[in-house]
Amino acid sequence: MLIEFYKYQGTGNDFVILDNFNENAPVLTTEQIKFICNRNFGVGADGLMLLSKKEGYDFEMIYYNADGNQSSMCGNGGRCLVKFAYDRGIHKSSYHFIATDGEHEANIDDDKIVRLKMQDVDNVHYHTHHSVLNTGSPHYIKFAENVEIMDVPTTGKEIRYSTAFAKEGVNVNFVEILDEDTIYVRTYERGVENETLSCGTGVTAAALISAHNENGFNTVDVKTKGGKLSVEFIKIDDQHFENIWLCGPAIFVFKGEIIV
């Protein structure tokens, strides 16, 4: 079966996208998706997405991890899918779409930065050495020094498969405070089962925990191995965060065909 695909990336977090807006994309098996995402034998990507039609919305986002399984929300993926929708002719001043975690808004500013509104966060588990929260996907946040030289794949994998998260697993983020407004984040992603160059929901989770204002409006700049993002939000208190926006570039890489 010959499949037409599009490749996009957001700060190095890369995705294969299939256009299913007219409901003509093929139904793929878990193994076929896993093959397409494989960096040695397929296209290579952190995940695969479908742009699909959904009544009452501009589109629906359907997301699969690189392991071929349908997954929870992907922030950078959502931003890339908005840019893909724009490139395919769906031009809106503000986008309204639905994903696995619910409804989202998005827009593209004059500098081609894609701004994606994330779900409000109403429950954060604070522990002595880490925090856990869900920003559309579950995230473990640990502050550390010298994050650049950490063995994130090894340490992240140990935490991801630890008994505390054995049922569903967790995404693991190591966060270093660079200055009052800037953090550096490296993430081990479940489903990819490795470090990715950037993780949108992970960056969002890390930014919320790193808020520099005790309450009210915050903007946190985030450095990742793949580039720079920013997160804007309102902090109500340590448990409640609203009006959360993930902001950064989303770039078309190439278009191609693959036989699966």
Does the annotation count 80 as an active-site position? no
SS3 call for 200? helix
Of 37, 74, 80, 247, catalytic: 74
Dihedral angle sign, alpha carbons of residues 209, 214, 215, 221 = negative
Does the annotation count 199 as an active-site position? yes
Pairing of strands 102-108, 131-134: unpaired
- Cβ-contact 176, 208 below 8 angstroms: no
Only one residue has tokens 């902001």, namely 247
User: Which residues are the active-site residues?
Assistant: 74, 199
